[in-house]
């Protein structure tokens, strides 16, 4: 996506590719939540924190898809107008995402198939990595090559919760968190392959953006499993129902029976 007319170095196929990738990522994310609802794994009987989070993040998906469609259709004016809203979305998403993580950790210790420390520490760090990458992409929006690819990498992070609801996470214990994150890497890898196939090289935005994503994930896992990460997690859930579950991923008694 971009907020200026495409320079000569950009091809029309690039625009179509990033539009398709945006729509696929949005569809994958929505599908995961819709599947959970259809199977009765989730319901609307949740506190306002959860509903607010859902509305904010679904609105972002709509905005991201609209941005991709508007620039692909040549409506640069609309693309610019929509792009201004993205700056305001970032801090709201950081607050909403943090709030729902805290609620999930304190109310039930997070998903049972994830380590609680992984869910609290790694999940939070990746949320803020999304914010950093998105803000970076917006700052370089006049440079389409960088803007589009950084946005793709940032958006791939947000596909995690949706894809995680499609994957058979209980069967992936004790590596459910690592696998659910690794699956999101398919989108940047597809983008890198598309670059290589089209131009014979990979755009440096992937090395910076995707490299940051992987580096933060690795660091978040080290912190999560350190004495500090475990202490932070225990402090967060102390005195709440979440403190009653094990720190490590587990199968609830009678699960699948």
Q: And the tokens for 216?
A: 């933060």
pLDDT single digits (tens) 187-220:
999 999 999 999 999 999 999 999 999 999 999 9
Look at residue 6 in the predicted model and tell me its pLDDT.
38
φ, ψ of residue 43 to 5 degrees: the values are: -150, 175
Look at residue 110 in the predicted model and tell me its pLDDT.
96
The full DSSP string for 61-78 is HHHHHHHHHHHHTT-HHH
What's the rounded mean pLDDT across residues 85-108?
A: 94
pLDDT single digits (tens) 128-137:
999 999 999 9
CA distance 169 to 112: 10
Q: And the tokens for 257?
A: 């029976």
Strands annotated E in 23-168:
none
Question: Exposure pattern of 163-175 as b/e (b: 16+ CB <10 Å)?
Answer: bbbbeebbebbee
Domain residues of the chain, as ranges?
Answer: 12-238
Average pLDDT, the chain: 90
Look at residue 81 in the predicted model and tell me its pLDDT.
79
CA distance 230 to 119: 11
pLDDT single digits (tens) 157-198:
999 999 988 999 999 999 999 999 999 999 999 999 999 999
pLDDT single digits (tens) 224-248:
999 999 999 999 999 999 999 999 9
From 181, 78, 201, select the one nearest 121 (Cα to Cα): 181
């Amino acid at each position: 996506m971009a907020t200026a007319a495409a320079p000569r170095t950009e091809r029309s196929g690039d625009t179509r590719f990033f539009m398709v990738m945006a729509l696929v990522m949005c569809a994958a994310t929505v599908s995961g939540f819709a599947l959970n609802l259809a199977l009765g794994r989730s319901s609307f009987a949740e506190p306002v924190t959860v509903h607010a989070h859902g509305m904010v993040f679904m609105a972002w998906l709509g905005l991201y898809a609209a941005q991709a469609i508007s620039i692909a259709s040549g409506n640069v004016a609309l693309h610019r107008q929509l792009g201004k809203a993205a700056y305001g979305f970032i801090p709201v998403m950081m607050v909403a995402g943090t709030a729902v993580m805290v609620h999930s950790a304190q109310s039930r210790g997070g998903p049972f198939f994830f380590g609680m420390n992984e869910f609290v520490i790694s999940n939070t760090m990746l949320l803020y990595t999304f914010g950093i990458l998105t803000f970076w992409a917006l700052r370089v929006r006049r440079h389409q090559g960088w803007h589009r690819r950084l946005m793709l990498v940032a958006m791939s992070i947000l596909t995690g919760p949706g894809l995680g609801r499609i994957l058979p996470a209980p069967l992936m214990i004790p590596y459910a968190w690592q696998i659910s994150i690794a699956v999101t890497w398919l989108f940047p890898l597809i983008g890198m392959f598309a670059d290589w196939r089209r131009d014979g090289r990979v755009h440096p935005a992937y090395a910076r953006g995707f490299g940051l994503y992987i580096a933060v994930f690795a660091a978040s896992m080290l912190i999560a499993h350190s004495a500090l990460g475990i202490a932070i997690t225990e402090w967060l859930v102390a005195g709440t129902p979440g403190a009653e579950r094990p720190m490590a991923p587990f199968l609830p008694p009678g699960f699948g029976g």
